Chain A
Amino acid sequence: MDQPSHDYHIEIPGTTIFDGKMAMKGYALNKMCYAFNKAVNRDAFKADEEGFMKEYGLNEQQKQAIRDRNILAMIEAGGNIYYLAKLAGIFKLGVQDVGGLQTGRTTEEFQQHLLDQA
């Protein structure tokens, strides 16, 4: 049967498997980002980032990743990209901006990287 243990995964370079272990680690961060579905919460975060992060119980690692606008650090801290995308939206970052930030490319270089795979 194809049943690994709850945090088992094969090593795929540059890829974090968002499994039970990561889901527990990132729960507060992801819960905050899920709240950004509502405009009232996006506005509250923009008005007081520190206060909003405290309200949702983010740990220091998660808070620092957000202060630094560091996507890879957010993932390392348990962030799931589908929820983080809502935070990226607040920062006016699209998926190709986010792709560039994670891969050390400008947005234009990242877009070219996508085109090159056609």
Chain B
Amino acid sequence: MAKILGGITTSHIPAVGNAIQHELQDDPYWKPFFDGYPKVHQWIKDNKPDVVVNIYNDHGLGFFLNQMPTFAIGAAHEYKNEDEGWGLPELDPFPGHPELSWHIIESMVADEFDITSCQELPVDHGFVVPMQLFWPGAPHNPDMPRAIPISANTVQHPIPTLKRALDFGKALRKGIESFPEDLKVVVLGTGGLSHQLDGERAGFINKEFDQHCLENIAHNPEVLTKITRMELVEKAGAQGTEFLMWMMMRGALGDNVTELTRNYHIPISNTAAGTLLLECA
């Protein structure tokens, strides 16, 4: 049977893609951020997952407002990284695992989680930057697992509640762990932490709220489901709502997890950047 080994969270700021392209890992601005990743690299090397379920939010590449799924799951043989309009290099396609995708889709819809299936899904920086961070050289890293993208809507309100995000992860876990093949799976929750790009409050960062989320997500995620969506916008910033992806990932990890590494740094670009590695019991 497939088994979930653990979950990894990271911010997916586009500027990180540029920093990687220009090899700025040891630059004084970037070093405190990239220092959060060696332990993750070691864990990946030790565990070698076969599949990565990458939970991210599309930012206007894969979806437009004409049709905006609240939860979408990729079910393709490969996922293309396409031009987003502002100069990030395009990476080669990421191989998928459509059999597991369809198994998850069947399981979740049977479990009354009605989602959108995607046989084509161009993936943006929200998907590829975490892949580049965890598997340097992605998608050509020799340990690169096959990928399943899951995108949740944080572009337009209404966005899902934090409780729904956590419950999504729980249903996802059932779908993955009922797959008959022996596969090792890692789940990513990407985006966040606090940031706001738009309006007179642009540049808003909230260290205290981020710390509250980081303190509770591993062992007390239910507490975080009490946060309303508007409270999330108020405290995490308009784009800090990406924390929903972390909640979706957390739900997929089961009750007991061990926190293996944590990093938090202000600022990277306009964002408070957070990284967390949680291993399943």
Which A residues fall within an 8 A CB radius of B?
Answer: 2, 4, 6, 9-10, 12-20, 22-23, 27, 30-31, 33-34, 36-39, 42, 71-72, 75, 80-86, 88-90, 95-96, 98-99, 102-103, 110, 113-115, 117-118
Contact = CB atoms under 8 A, between A and B. Distances in A.
A82 B60 contact: yes
Given A42-B85, A86-B84, A114-B205, A15 B60 contact: no
Contacts of B64: 30-31, 34
B202 A98 contact: yes
Nearest to B268: A114
Contacts, number: 138
A10 B156 contact: no
A37 B266 contact: no
A15 B205 CA distance: 13
Given A88-B86, A118-B265, 16 more contacts: A12-B230, A17-B233, A19-B156, A20-B157, A23-B65, A33-B60, A38-B83, A72-B200, A80-B65, A82-B60, A86-B60, A96-B270, A114-B267, A117-B205, A117-B266, A118-B266
Contacts of A16: 198-199, 238
Contacts of A34: 60, 64-65
A71 B199 CA distance: 8
Contact of A30 (B65, B203, B234): B65
B207 A117 contact: yes
Given A2-B228, A86-B84, A89-B87, A118 B267 contact: yes
B269 interface: yes
Given A34-B64, A89-B85, A15 B238 contact: yes
A42 B233 CA distance: 32
B161 interface: yes
A26 B225 CA distance: 31
Contacts of B158: 4, 6, 19
Contacts of A36: 85
B52 to A, nearest CB: 24
A95 B197 contact: yes
B174 interface: no
The 7 closest A-B pairs by CB, nearest first: A89-B86, A14-B201, A14-B200, A86-B85, A81-B198, A114-B267, A19-B157
A102 B204 CA distance: 12
Contacts of A38: 83, 85
Contacts of A82: 59-60, 155
A36 to B, nearest CB: 5
B200 A103 contact: yes
A10 B200 contact: no
A84 B198 CA distance: 10
A42 B15 CA distance: 21
B234 A12 contact: yes
B203 A103 contact: yes
B156 A23 contact: yes
Nearest to A84: B198
Contacts of B234: 10, 12, 15
A23 B64 CA distance: 11
B229 interface: yes
Instruction: From B87, B199, B238, name the one whose CB has the most chain A CB atoms within 10 angstroms.
Output: B199
